[in-house]
Amino acid sequence: MKKTLKIFLIIIILLIVSYIIYLYVSNKSKYKFEEGDIRLKHNMTNSKSLYEALQNRSSSRDFSNKELTDETIANLLWSANGINREDGRRTAPSAMNQQEIDLYVILPSGGYLYVPEENLLKRINPTNMTDKTGYNAPMSILYVADTYKQNLNWAYVDSGFIGQNIYLFCAINDLVSVFKGTFDKEYFTKALQLPDNKEIIFMQDIGYKKEQ
Ligand SMILES: Cc1cc2nc3c(=O)[nH]c(=O)nc-3n(C[C@H](O)[C@H](O)[C@H](O)COP(=O)(O)O)c2cc1C
């Protein structure tokens, strides 16, 4: 009888401990919100048509130094590669749904990782690096491929879809943009502390058009 009671108590304790671990793991987010991070709240209300977006799409390299608001940044990133379905799939397709492209965002307030699952811009480096991106845009996005998840050929293709999402978003939100393959990758690899399996493959500059 005593032995049965002991086993029963052990099972109850194990069940309670498992439940506590489950609650901890399910509530724990990967990134803790810290000073300098930016919470993103996207709220898309644009009524312009896809035709207007396609009609206006173009590359531009003349940026004014006017900064984008947090809401515009949130809407732009959601359009670029945000989550649009409950299963975590994105506004841009990815080969085999590997979602191997991380977007890093360069703003005057620093360099950030876009974390779509948590609607968060996680600050990695507080330095203003906008003067290192090429055309001094107030916002640049780095396309960083995880080569453990996917090979580079697919990563190049997947980046193109994200890039076009951004071009179309800009075309109907009074913004201009340019997608780039040439820039100082070494500088940003160091500045964003990227490990060997994270390769910067493209950059896209975004901002308001400089008044002539
Ligand atoms: C894969 C790729 C790489 C590019 N690299 C650069 C670049 O390094 N610098 C730049 O100023 N523009 C770059 N561009 C932009 C092109 O020059 C631009 O798309 C082209 O001139 C056509 O102009 P449009 O986008 O206005 O139609 C790149 C575009 C693509 C698709």
Strand-pair partners of 203: 142, 180
| Residue 16 counted as domain residue | yes
At residue 45, the 3 state secondary structure works out as: coil
Whether 116 and 19 map to the same domain: the answer is no
Please report the pLDDT score of residue 64 as a whole number: 97
Please report the pLDDT score of residue 5 as a whole number: 86
Whether 138 and 58 map to the same domain: the answer is yes
Q: Amino acid identity of 88?
A: G
Whether 157 and 75 map to the same domain: the answer is yes
Alpha-carbon span 149 to 195, nearest angstrom: 14
Alpha-carbon span 198 to 8, nearest angstrom: 50
Whether 72 and 26 map to the same domain: the answer is no
Cα distances (Å, whole numbers) of residue 23 to 32, 50, 202: 17, 44, 39
The mean pLDDT value for 25-38 works out to: 81
Strand-pair partners of 200: 144
Q: Amino acid identity of 49?
A: S
Average pLDDT, the chain: 94
Task: Identify the domain containing residue 3 by its residue range.
Answer: 1-30
The CB of 178 under 6 Å from ligand 1? The reply is: yes
**Which of 166, 144, 197 minimizes the C-alpha distance to 73?**
166
Domain count, the chain: 2
| Residue 24 counted as domain residue | yes
The CB of 69 under 6 Å from ligand 1? The reply is: no
pLDDT tens-digit map of 114-160: 999 999 999 999 999 999 999 999 999 999 999 999 999 999 999 99
The CB of 59 under 6 Å from ligand 1? The reply is: yes
Please report the pLDDT score of residue 193 as a whole number: 97
The mean pLDDT value for 98-127 works out to: 98
Whether 63 and 21 map to the same domain: the answer is no
The CB of 179 under 6 Å from ligand 1? The reply is: yes
Lowest pLDDT segment from 14-23, 63-72, 181-190: 14-23
Whether 2 and 92 map to the same domain: the answer is no
| Residue 95 counted as domain residue | yes
Q: What region does 210 belong to: left with phi over 0, alpha with psi -120 to 50, or beta?
A: beta
Whether 162 and 183 map to the same domain: the answer is yes
Whether 42 and 26 map to the same domain: the answer is no
Whether 146 and 196 map to the same domain: the answer is yes
The CB of 57 under 6 Å from ligand 1? The reply is: no
Whether 140 and 54 map to the same domain: the answer is yes
| Residue 13 counted as domain residue | yes
Whether 15 and 99 map to the same domain: the answer is no
How far is ligand 1, taken at its centre, from the CA of residue 208, in Å?
Answer: 18
The CB of 58 under 6 Å from ligand 1? The reply is: yes
| Residue 200 counted as domain residue | yes
| pLDDT(25) > 70 | no
Ligand 1 atom nearest residue 163's Cα: 31
The CB of 61 under 6 Å from ligand 1? The reply is: yes
Alpha carbon 141 to chain centroid, angstroms? 8
pLDDT tens-digit map of 158-185: 999 999 999 999 999 999 999 999 999 9
Alpha-carbon span 101 to 162, nearest angstrom: 9
Cα distances (Å, whole numbers) of residue 100 to 72, 163, 165: 24, 15, 17
Please report the pLDDT score of residue 3 as a whole number: 83
The CATH number for 62's domain is: 3.40.109.10
Please report the pLDDT score of residue 204 as a whole number: 98
Write the residue with the smallest CA distance to atom 19 of ligand 1: 59
Whether 23 and 105 map to the same domain: the answer is no
Q: pLDDT class for 19, splitting at 50, 70, 90?
A: confident
Write the residue with the smallest CA distance to atom 27 of ligand 1: 58
Alpha-carbon span 105 to 127, nearest angstrom: 12
Comparing 2 with 48, the larger pLDDT belongs to 48
| Residue 212 counted as domain residue | no
Alpha-carbon span 10 to 71, nearest angstrom: 52
